[in-house]
A = this chain, B = another copy of it.
Amino acid sequence: MKFGRFEQQGRVFYGAVEGDQVTELEGSIFDNYKTTSKKQPLSALKTLIPCVPPTFYCAGLNYAAHVEWANKRKGTNTKLPEKADVGYRANNALVATGEAIVIPADSPGPVQFEGELVAVIGKRARNLSEKDALSCVLGYTLGNDVSERTWQKQDRTLWRAKNSDTFKPMGPFIATGLDPMKLTVTIKVNGTTAAEYDTGKMLFSAQRYISEISKYMTLWPGDVIWLGTDGATEPDLKDGDTVEVIQKDIGTLRNPVVRAKA
């Protein structure tokens, strides 16, 4: 099943997506909802981010080949993480599929994509074992952890490097019933495949991250956990590009790139 969040003439609602058709749902997918008889073509609706997370978790480094590539490319010496210590991103930066990634006018660059699998929490959870961890997950969506590499290197925190407005495209839909460790994520820039990886190569599984987080934190419906990216994140993004993060069951998160005028 695939859930989306939509807007039509100022009205916001959840829908079940089948091919090009959306069946309107009454209520929230994080609560008791009802299926209605209203069906519309997807093209008649504006697709929104699939949820507004109470807490926005992000694994950061979670694939060996990405860390190795980054060290080579940036002359850094980042070690592989030894524990599933999670980080955070910020809601102000979230945009939906179709919305522009805006590179700030004063960005020295490069600005790069990081296509990620995202677990969407469906049920309040605390102290889950790895075995039970996925029981709190509603489904999976995609994220693009857009990163300004100069700021990432120079600033004391990742605030503007990772959280400038529009730097966190998320969507298009939430797909249920997937095995998060057996998916292929593809990133295309201007229609050409730039990166492709299997989620089975995560250093720490989705199960592990959820279990670790839930030892100290209550996970809430709508929380999202971005699970990291693998490999190189080139070519650099520039004004006029289109970047896509693709997983066949979830769909395509597609965003144009523009550069803000000074």
Q: Which residues of A contact B (CB under 8 A)?
A: 52, 54-55, 57, 60, 81, 83, 85-93, 104, 126, 155-157, 159-160, 163-165, 213, 215-220, 223
- Chain A at the B interface: mostly helix, strand, loop or mixed? loop
> A165 contacts which chain B residues (CB < 8 A)?
126, 216-218
Task: With both chains docked as a complex, state the minimum distance between the C-beta of A214 and any C-beta of chain B, in angstroms.
Answer: 10
> A52 contacts which chain B residues (CB < 8 A)?
54
> A216 contacts which chain B residues (CB < 8 A)?
104, 159-160, 163-165
> A88 contacts which chain B residues (CB < 8 A)?
88-90, 157, 159, 163
Task: With both chains docked as a complex, state the minimum distance between the C-beta of A118 and any C-beta of chain B, in angstroms.
Answer: 17
Number of copies: 2
> A164 contacts which chain B residues (CB < 8 A)?
216-217
> A57 contacts which chain B residues (CB < 8 A)?
90
Decide yes or no: A92 and B60 within 8 Å by CB, A83-B155, A165-B216 being known contacts.
no
A-B contact pairs, 16 of them (CB 8 A): A55-B90, A55-B92, A57-B90, A83-B155, A83-B156, A88-B90, A88-B159, A92-B219, A92-B220, A92-B223, A93-B217, A104-B216, A159-B213, A163-B217, A164-B216, A165-B218
> A90 contacts which chain B residues (CB < 8 A)?
55, 57, 88, 217
State in angstroms the CA–CA spacing of A88 and B91 once bound together: 11
Minimal Cβ-Cβ distance residue in B for A79:
B156
State in angstroms the CA–CA spacing of A91 and B85 once bound together: 17
Name the one of B157, B213, B220 contacting A87, with C-beta atoms under 8 angstroms: B157
Q: Which of A90, A165, A216 has the most CB of B within 10 A?
A: A216
Whether B87 contacts A159 by the Cβ 8 Å rule is: yes
Minimal Cβ-Cβ distance residue in B for A53:
B91
Beyond A85-B155, A85-B159, 12 additional pairs, beta carbon < 8 A: A81-B156, A87-B157, A88-B157, A88-B159, A88-B163, A92-B217, A92-B219, A93-B217, A159-B217, A160-B216, A160-B217, A165-B216
